[in-house]
Structures are given as C-alpha cells and as structure tokens.
Amino acid sequence: MSSSEPGAAPEERCEFLEEVIEEVLAWQPRVRGGRILYIGPGLGSEVSRLAQEAGHLTFVFHSRGGNNVERKKTTDKVTYKCDDVTELSFPPGSFELVVGAWVLSGLSDLQADDFLHRVLEWLVPEGHFAFREACGFLEDTRPSNSTLPRSPVFYCQMLHSVTTKSSSFTILRATSLQSYVTHEGDPTKLCFLAQRSEANSRTRHAVDIRYSKSFILRMERLLGHTWLSTGGESTTREFCQRLGLRPGQRVLDVGCGSGGSPFFMSRLYGVHVHGVDISSNMMDLAVQRQTHLRRALRKRVHFELRDVLDADYDACSYDVIYSRNSIFHIEKKEELFAKLYRWLKPGGILFVTDYFAKSTPPSESCAEFSAKTCSTLVTISGYERVLTGAGFSVESRDLADDFCSIHQKELDAFLSTREAFREEYSQLEFDEMVALATHKITLVKGGQITWASFIARK
C-alpha cells in the first residue's frame, strides 16, 4: 500500500493534501474524548488533529512486509503500530470511531469482507466507520481476488452484507471528495460513512430495492439516457428556463437519480450542482458517468449518497433547490421543506415536480399506486399548505394534460424499440415497462393522480 494519497507527489502537493484532510476531518463524526483507530498513511496533520480531540488514538500503518517502517514512540495520547491489516486484532468494542484511508483497495474481496467484519466487532454500539477509497467501474470483469478498484455500489453492498449475531452496518452517506473534483476533475475518490447498529434495526431502504441498476437502465430506455423523470431533457430544458440560472450559482438536486439534471444544468448554465440521492445504484451510475464528462464539467458536479432528511447543510448555501419526481417518496414533508427553506439563500427558488393525489382520502387506485412506488401522495393543495407553512411563497401548476401527452410520446417511441429491448432484456421486462407507463397515463387521465410543478420562493 502506498504511503501517500493516490496520485500525490509528496513535496509539491502538500497544500492540496492538507485540503483533502480538512475535508475528510469535517466530514467525519466528532469523537471528543473517545477512542479512535486510524489505519492508513497518516499524512499531514490528520493523525495529530484526530488525536487532539480523542481520548486515545491508535495509528496503524498498514504494511504487508511487517515492521519495515520505523515506529514512532507511543505516547499517552497515541499508540503507533506497523502491521498487516489482514492480521490486525483488537478486543470487541475497542473504538468509537474507525478511520480507514486507502486500505480496502489493497485487499481482495475475501480479505476486505473479513476486515469489515473485524471492524464491526471493534466498534462500540452506534460507533462509526469512516473510510475513503479510489473507486472504479469494472465489476463485470473484475476477479474477486483482484485489488482493482471497486465501484461505489460494490462497497455499499459489502457493507450491507456484514453482520454479526447482534449488529450490522448501516450506511449513512457516501460522496466524492470535493477536493479531488475541484482540483483534478476526479470524482472517483470517495468517502463512506457507516454506523454499527443492532441487526434487528437494519433495513435496506425500500427505494433502493425498487431502483435496482437493471430497473434504472430499463427506465432510461423509456425516458432517455440519464433521465428518470417525465420528458427527460425536453421538460428539464423548459423548467430550467423558469429558474434564472446563472454561471457560478449553487444548485442542490434532491433525488438526482442517475445524473441527468445535474449534467444538463452544469453544461448549459455553468452552475455547480450538488446531487443527493438515497439509492446507491443511482449514485454509482451518476459518478461513473461523471468520469466521462469534460474536465470542466466534472468539476461542477458533486454526487452524494444520503437520506436528505439526515443531512444538515449550511444555512443559505444554495441559490436553487431542484427536485424531479422524488419528494413523493418522502413521508416527512414538513421536516424536509423546513430544511430546504433553511438551506436556500434569501430570494432563492425551490422547484419541484411530483405526483399527487386528486382527492382526500386518496382513491383506491391512487393508494395502490402509492404502495407500489413506495411513496406518500398528498393533494396539490396539501402540498401548498406545507410549503407555505415552511415560509415559502408558492406558485403551482397542474400538468396532468402535459404529462399524458409527453408520456404517451415516450411510450410510443419505446414500443418501436421492442426487438432491440428484447435482445438485451426480455419480453417479460418489456411488457412490464409498457404496463408501468400505461398505468400512469390511465391513472392521470382517469383523475386518480396528477402531475404538477411548484415554484416556491424564499
């Protein structure tokens, strides 16, 4: 394992590495007076700054060759070790926080799985595991005994699979390191944060189950490459014209999906877009596609795996908050809109499109749609009340007729691809996509649900 950050030249990049460390430290949970295990190169001030707040810090330099690196003298605050992480051992419940820097990428899948199980045991209940890795997208051809970079979703799947008799990992968030994106246009260096939790409280979010990678790609065959909302680029272009976007502005995309809107806005308007989604498959596809953008565009897009209700971004930090067909998945809308209002700058705009119930209580067909899509549908007027209660001034449009016209065109175009789709997938999956689109159109035409847009101003 290299003793430096990936791609780093020790002398000329010290300032950049210190910026990386600043970002990483700000991203990790605080453990004042707690016990921390750090495994990695320990560059710059990272270890010393972790030790300042910790009750005690154990620093392990990962070395396959044994003690070929001189150990520093152990102090009351810091214990220094040089060891092979595949042999590393600590008593259960030894640490409140474990930090890993470029460790897993040097291990095979079996070694990484074993290491993650040991980390889970080393943590106290509710303890945190924060690690950063260089990711790649070679899962289809990557042997399990290889140390080639893993994809972000592969790391998420590994964490989900780690359990003991009494505990498991819950993934709290994952994101590209902004320092690498800004300076190098490289979104493949990611931070992950997981927490040890009781096994019986471990659930995989229903949205992530619904939006498998295969389902996302099939939806894109209906709605357009990188698009998962009605009308794809055409409606995005129309809606963005209403937002007054200007170069340099900051946009938060809630439920950013596989990257369509962030890529479009950054390319056409020169804005910086922070995309947040709760689906690891969405983020994986978005980051992979970000790597293929021109360098200037890569630097203006930042993706994060996170439940937006758990987020706490700085107040007044975004010019626009944008969300397409995502908030209907979130039940706690009052809590969400209060957060979005706080994050917007004065005069900022929240733009939303979503599905809505046409009546209260919702019809039986509407309730079935809500259950199948893991969503909580409210009426347009109910949505307006929640937005107004959060402090917004609101302008809404019922777009039922537009939805039926646009989605029917999408369905007609999809029907013409039957043979090509069947070759890649199957007749059954083709029929499922047709049924999904047809059902939405039928519900909207029948007045069971509708589609609407909101512009809410702070």
The CATH architecture that domain 207-457 belongs to is 3-Layer(aba) Sandwich (3.40)
Each residue's pLDDT, cut to its tens digit, for the chain (458 residues) gives: 334 455 544 555 678 888 888 899 998 998 999 999 999 887 668 888 899 989 999 999 877 554 444 456 677 889 988 888 999 999 999 999 999 999 998 899 999 999 999 999 999 999 999 999 999 987 666 666 666 789 999 999 999 889 888 899 999 999 999 999 998 899 999 999 999 997 554 445 566 777 899 999 999 999 999 999 999 999 999 999 999 999 999 999 999 999 999 999 999 999 999 999 999 999 999 999 999 999 999 999 999 999 999 999 999 999 999 999 999 989 999 999 999 999 999 999 999 999 999 988 888 888 888 888 888 899 999 999 999 999 999 999 999 999 999 999 999 999 999 999 999 999 999 999 999 999 999 999 999 999 999 999 99
Residue (of 94, 89, 90, 3) closest to 40 by Cα position = 3
> Phi, psi at residue 188, to the nearest 5°?
-90, -5
The phi, psi pair for 224, rounded to 5°, reads: 115, 145
Residue 367 CA, distance from chain mean position? 28
| Domain spans in the chain, listed from the N-terminal domain onward | 14-203, 207-457
pTM exceeding 0.75: yes
Domain 14-203: what homologous superfamily?
Vaccinia Virus protein VP39 (3.40.50.150)
